A and B are shown apart, each in its own frame.
Chain A
Amino acid sequence: MQKLDVCGLSCPMPVIKVKEAIDAGKLPIQVTVDAGAPVDNISRLAENQGFSVTKSPVEPGIWLLEIE
């Protein structure tokens, strides 16, 4: 599985990076995210396009999203 780290990026960069990855056919992909808003935005983007998203918290303020 490919990995994408969008930690520390301001909105809307995280969701743009994930959209680029999806458009480039890089799924399944594991995305590391460090803020709640991009977690929601990325999940919504992927789910709206029919992909499944598994969200797991790593530590306070860090999540892993698996999109496939």
Chain B
Amino acid sequence: MDYKVIFSGLVVGALAVTLTALGNPPNMGYCIACFLRDIAGSLGLHRAAAVQYIRPEITGLGIGAFLISLKNREFRARGGANPLMRFVLGFAIMVGALAFLGCPLRLVLRLGGGDINAITGLIGFIAGIWVGIIAIKGGFNPGRAQSQSKGTGYIYPIFLVAIFVALMVRPDFLFFSEAGPGSMTAPILAALAAGLAIGIMAQRSRLCMVGGIRDIILIRDPHLLWGFVAIFAVTLGGNLILGEFNLGFSDQIAHSAHLWNFLGMVVVGFGAILAGGCPLRQLVMAGEGDTDATVTVIGMIVGAAFVHNFGLAGVPGVGLPSAGQIAVVLCLAALAFIGFGHRFGAKSSSALKEVA
């Protein structure tokens, strides 16, 4: 048994609880979707005043994964396996995540904080993964990435450093929330350090929220699921100790539109399976030089911008606006087309080659 993934899960959960104690929003110590949305807002790509901040956790995560993959000779620039499709997948994943109000990581943090609304989200997430596996078994394959010049792999880390510098300099053209979740922030260096630690751990352990459930269904391998369980256990324990555990449907940064929590996370699970990993994993792979994953991340950032420009996000304590409901259904249709239409990439074929 390899305990790296359990250790990573414990560290991720502990750091998420710590970041909340240091100022991040409740049950949002570490949320990939929320943080990318905040970054989109800070860059002015959307104007939702409550969610605008350059989250140093995102810079730390990608740079941590980048540095540890360089050190261990795992960094390699590669890409070109259907980047446009990956953009669409990233976009759809963000629409689903912001309907539910959280990525798969925050789903677990919400469960560990006592938010019962997240249970329908979890069921939807598993259902989405299951549908995605049917698509894979039916022959969905995004195609094969090629090696790229090393410098291409540096673009994403450079972007991360640039936005961190922007956070430190705070030029006038950036937006920073004065109220709402975007104004609730851990100290910059603590957030950066936590991000670095999580990036290193997640890169080493291959922690992936969809991978855990996928591997159970597909190859009966529970390995990655232990990371998921460890995050839940430590956030539950941490919230209980800190008195932050709040069991119930209300008083959460969440809503109780259960059908849309369910369908939102179906989109996330289905989309993430087709993209080859959960949002956290996409950020790690982008740091390792996978430029297709970088395109997925860009899709998520642009998706967040559209979600808030068009009012498609779930509203805490209220529900999902009808425009958001339409967006979720359209994303489901898009994913079904990608997963089952076989219009993109090559069909699965045996890659076995005999030696000449």
Enumerate chain B residues within 8 angstroms of A48, measured Cβ to Cβ. Answer: 221
| Set A3, A44, A57: member contacting B223, Cβ < 8 A | A44
Interface SS of A by simple majority: mixed
Say whether B353 faces chain A, with CB atoms less than 8 Å apart. Answer: yes
Enumerate chain A residues within 8 angstroms of B289, measured Cβ to Cβ. Answer: 61
> Chain B contact residues (Cβ within 8 angstroms of A): what range?
35 or more
Interface SS of B by simple majority: loop
Would you call A12 and B353 a contact (CB within 8 A)? Answer: no
**With A61-B76, A61-B289 in contact, is A20–B350 under 8 Å at CB?**
yes
* Contact flags A1-38 to B (C-beta < 8 A → 1, else 0): 11111111111110111011100101000000011110
Would you call A1 and B352 a contact (CB within 8 A)? Answer: no
- In chain B, positions 129-164 with a C-beta closer than 8 Å to chain A are 136, 141-147
Would you call A62 and B78 a contact (CB within 8 A)? Answer: no
| Set A2, A8, A36: member contacting B74, Cβ < 8 A | A36
Would you call B78 and A34 a contact (CB within 8 A)? Answer: yes
| Set B142, B206, B348: member contacting A10, Cβ < 8 A | B142
Would you call B355 and A2 a contact (CB within 8 A)? Answer: yes
Enumerate chain B residues within 8 angstroms of A1, measured Cβ to Cβ. Answer: 355
- Complex CA gap A21/B75 in Å reads 27
Would you call A61 and B75 a contact (CB within 8 A)? Answer: yes
Say whether A60 faces chain B, with CB atoms less than 8 Å apart. Answer: yes
Enumerate chain B residues within 8 angstroms of A24, measured Cβ to Cβ. Answer: 352
* Contact flags B287-298 to A (C-beta < 8 A → 1, else 0): 011101000000
Q: Given contacts A9-B351, A35-B290, could you give 4 more A-B pairs where the C-beta distance is less than 8 Å?
A: A7-B144, A8-B78, A10-B275, A60-B75
10 shortest interchain CB distances as A-B pairs? A61-B76, A10-B276, A8-B145, A8-B144, A60-B73, A37-B206, A11-B276, A36-B74, A17-B351, A10-B142
